[in-house]
């Protein structure tokens, strides 16, 4: 029985290596093994899903499995080669049967790639015949079910007109965060977030007796007035006022919406921008944050409307709900704001931090050369790309300004790959102005220290105005 389990583990390991290599390497070494060549029947040899990357990963990984098999590395290498040979044989037969590359076929997909190495290893392990047959009987249905699940999760777009380039890494992350039928189990797929935020950070501040103070701090966002200079700003937009609300995390702190509304009471703006992360957690139901969002938006007065982008806590499936609530979502898209015959362009890109689905070139494709464009992103991590697209102003959040900072206000951790000068407040890169909000709410542990939340009001000018001297 032990040999059957050993063989079974080898089969699963060899079968899992190609998709793991796909997740790790992305498009690198993804060239089809057959280079697009056809057989005598003018049909592909194997198809585009059999890549050089997958073959190399399975051969190398299968060979390195030899200590667990209890055989020499040469025997493990032969077993890995037989596994890949069987896999290619199945693909060759499927092309002859006019089956689509990547289509799962029960038994045919597994019988050769599992049968050949199972019998070979059974012989070297001197196991009775029933043990490799048992391993094969278990492997075939489990591998078929896994292949169908993998294909459903990673390659099936969640909606029509999917506004993202679909990569396997994106779909896996979205499934972990947004697959609503499994909402109650999402915490099991996001244990690192749970353990760090709810257990480690929260426990430390409770032991220090500072937890309640941290929550109280998080419920006191500041109204920040900022002047931003954009030399290319059209004259009719002089003094244009933008309300920037990022990292709301509305369902994370009870009473936060009331605090925001009290600070915005009676105020009017030309434009309101929502910089992503409306939900508190990176997984689970979205209804609680939507309820709070519907309480907030009707009280915001913005002449040219409310626009938003997605953050790393937001799911693509949330777009219809956000728009129904009153936000016009920009997913790698742009819109024009007109005033007195002049135009100001607003460009919004998808999340550049976690999903990494931002496409600035696509978003700027409709913006005329030389136009004054404001780029709204969730994170500052696309600042170089924004500068390459000649954005006049880059607005973002995500970092929370550190959220828990040293007494000097210096962030301990920004959760951003961008340089620290982009972590909070105003900054400049080349000719592009930038502003990173500290965010309104709090993420992870709902605490803030030495870094209050920020409701930012940005006033745009084309030049610096100096006070007259007497």
Residue listed under structure tokens 């050769």: 112
Q: Enumerate residues 6+ apart whose C-beta is below 8 A from 80.
A: 14, 58, 59, 61, 62, 63, 65, 117
Domain count across the chain = 2
Q: 465 to each of 22, 104, 239, 460, 469, how far by Cα in Å? A: 54, 67, 11, 12, 12
Choosing from 121, 156, 191, the residue where a domain stops is 156
Domain that holds residue 68: 2-156
What mean pLDDT is predicted for residues 273-299? 91
> What is the CATH classification number for the domain harbouring 247?
3.60.21.10
Distance CA 148, CA 19 (A): 13
64 & 136 share domain: yes
What mean pLDDT is predicted for residues 47-72? 87
Helix (H, G, I), strand (E, B) or coil at 460: strand
Helix (H, G, I), strand (E, B) or coil at 6: helix
- Tokens for 285? 């139901």
Helix (H, G, I), strand (E, B) or coil at 54: helix
> Which stretch of 201-210, 287-296, 422-431 has the lowest confidence by average pLDDT?
201-210
258 & 383 share domain: yes
Distance CA 330, CA 376 (A): 9
9 & 85 share domain: yes
Residue 169 lies in a domain: no
What mean pLDDT is predicted for residues 204-210? 89
> Which stretch of 117-126, 277-286, 340-349 has the lowest confidence by average pLDDT?
277-286
208 & 145 share domain: no
**pLDDT for 160:** 54
303 & 237 share domain: yes
CA atoms within 13 A on the CB side of 396: 29
Residue listed under structure tokens 């993420």: 443
CB atoms within 10 A of CB 239: 12
143 & 289 share domain: no
Residue 287 lies in a domain: yes
Residue 286 and residue 321 in contact, taking contact as beta carbons nearer than 8 Å: yes
Residue 167 lies in a domain: no
Instruction: Evaluate if residue 100 carries a pLDDT over 80.
Output: no
212 & 296 share domain: yes
Residue listed under structure tokens 């997909």: 109
- The interaxial angle of helices 130-155 and 108-124, nearest 10 deg, is 140
Bridge-based pairing of strands 241-245 and 333-339 is unpaired
Q: Report the share of the chain in percent with pLDDT over 90.
A: 58
Residue 174 lies in a domain: no
Helix (H, G, I), strand (E, B) or coil at 32: strand
315 & 433 share domain: yes
Phi-psi region of 66 (alpha: psi -120 to 50; beta: other; left: phi over 0): alpha
Position with higher pLDDT, 237 vs 191: 237
CA atoms within 13 A on the CB side of 109: 21
262 & 134 share domain: no
pLDDT tens readout for residues 226-283: 999 999 999 999 999 999 999 999 998 999 999 999 999 999 999 999 999 999 888 7
Query: Which one, of 325, 245, 331, 232, lies nearest residue 287 by Cα?
Result: 325
135 & 218 share domain: no
DSSP state of 281: S
**pLDDT for 283:** 76
Choosing from 156, 189, 220, the residue where a domain stops is 156
Residue 436 and residue 383 in contact, taking contact as beta carbons nearer than 8 Å: no
pLDDT band at 286 (very low <50, low <70, confident <90, very high): confident
Query: Which one, of 424, 435, 299, lies nearest residue 377 by Cα?
Result: 435
DSSP state of 265: T
Residue 172 lies in a domain: no
Instruction: Identify any residues that bridge with 91 across adjacent strands, giving them in sequence order.
Output: none
DSSP state of 412: S
Distance CA 300, CA 284 (A): 27
- Tokens for 293? 């969002």
72 & 219 share domain: no
DSSP state of 419: -
Bridge-based pairing of strands 268-269 and 301-302 is parallel
Choosing from 98, 131, 156, the residue where a domain stops is 156
Residue 168 lies in a domain: no
> Where are the extended beta strands (E) located within 252-293?
268-269, 271-274
124 & 225 share domain: no
Residue 165 lies in a domain: no
Helix (H, G, I), strand (E, B) or coil at 137: helix
How would you class 362 by CB atoms within 10 Å of its CB: exposed for 0-12, middle for 13-18, buried for 19 or more? middle
**Would the pTM count as exceeding 0.75?**
no
Q: Enumerate residues 6+ apart whose C-beta is below 8 A from 39.
A: 45, 92, 95, 96
Residue 463 and residue 230 in contact, taking contact as beta carbons nearer than 8 Å: no
Residue 173 lies in a domain: no
Residue 345 and residue 374 in contact, taking contact as beta carbons nearer than 8 Å: yes
Q: Report the share of the chain in percent with pLDDT over 70.
A: 86
């Amino acid at each position: 029985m032990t040999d059957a389990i050993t063989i079974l583990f080898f089969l699963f390991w060899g079968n899992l290596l190609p998709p793991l290599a796909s997740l790790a390497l992305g498009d690198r070494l993804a060239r089809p093994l057959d280079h697009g060549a056809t057989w005598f029947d003018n049909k592909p040899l194997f198809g585009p899903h059999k890549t050089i990357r997958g073959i190399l990963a399975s051969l190398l990984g299968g060979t390195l499995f030899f200590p667990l098999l209890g055989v020499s590395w040469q025997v493990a290498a032969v077993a890995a080669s037989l596994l890949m040979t069987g896999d290619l044989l199945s693909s060759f037969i499927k092309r002859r049967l006019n089956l689509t590359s990547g289509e799962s076929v029960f038994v045919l997909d597994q019988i050769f790639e599992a049968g050949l190495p199972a019998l070979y290893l059974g012989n070297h392990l001197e196991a009775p015949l029933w043990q490799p047959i048992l391993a094969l009987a278990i492997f075939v249905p489990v591998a078929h079910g896994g292949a169908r699940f993998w294909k459903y999760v990673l390659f099936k777009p969640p909606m029509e007109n999917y506004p993202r380039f679909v990569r396997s890494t994106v779909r896996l992350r979205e499934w972990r965060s947004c697959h609503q039928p499994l909402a109650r189990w999402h915490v099991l797929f996001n244990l690192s977030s749970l353990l760090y935020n709810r257990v480690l950070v929260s426990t430390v501040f409770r032991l220090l007796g500072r937890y309640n103070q941290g929550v109280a701090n998080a419920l006191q966002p500041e109204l920040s007035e900022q002047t931003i200079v954009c030399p290319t700003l059209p004259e009719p937009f002089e003094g244009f006022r933008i309300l920037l609300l990022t990292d709301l995390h509305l369902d994370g702190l009870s009473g936060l919406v009331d605090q925001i509304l009290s600070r915005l009471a009676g105020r009017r703006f030309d434009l309101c921008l929502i910089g992503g992360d409306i939900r508190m957690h990176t997984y689970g139901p979205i209804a609680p944050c939507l309820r709070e969002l519907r309480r907030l938006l009707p009280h915001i007065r913005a002449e040219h409307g409310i626009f938003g982008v997605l953050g790393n806590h937001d799911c693509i499936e949330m777009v219809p709900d956000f728009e129904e609530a009153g936000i016009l979502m920009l997913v790698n898209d742009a819109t024009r704001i007109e005033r007195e015959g002049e135009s100001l362009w607003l460009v919004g890109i998808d999340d550049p931090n976690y999903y990494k689905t931002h496409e600035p070139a696509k978003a700027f494709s409709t913006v005329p050369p030389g136009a004054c464009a404001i780029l709204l992103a969730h994170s500052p991590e696309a600042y170089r790309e924004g500068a390459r697209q000649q954005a006049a102003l880059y607005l973002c959040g995500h970092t929370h300004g550190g959220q828990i900072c040293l007494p000097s206000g210096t962030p301990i951790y920004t959760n951003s790959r961008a340089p620290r000068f982009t972590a909070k407040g105003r900054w400049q890169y080349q000719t592009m102005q930038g502003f990173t909000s500290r965010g309104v709410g709090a993420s992870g542990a709902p605490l803030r220290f030495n870094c209050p939340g920020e409701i930012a009001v940005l006033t745009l000018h084309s030049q610096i105005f100096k006070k007259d001297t007497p």
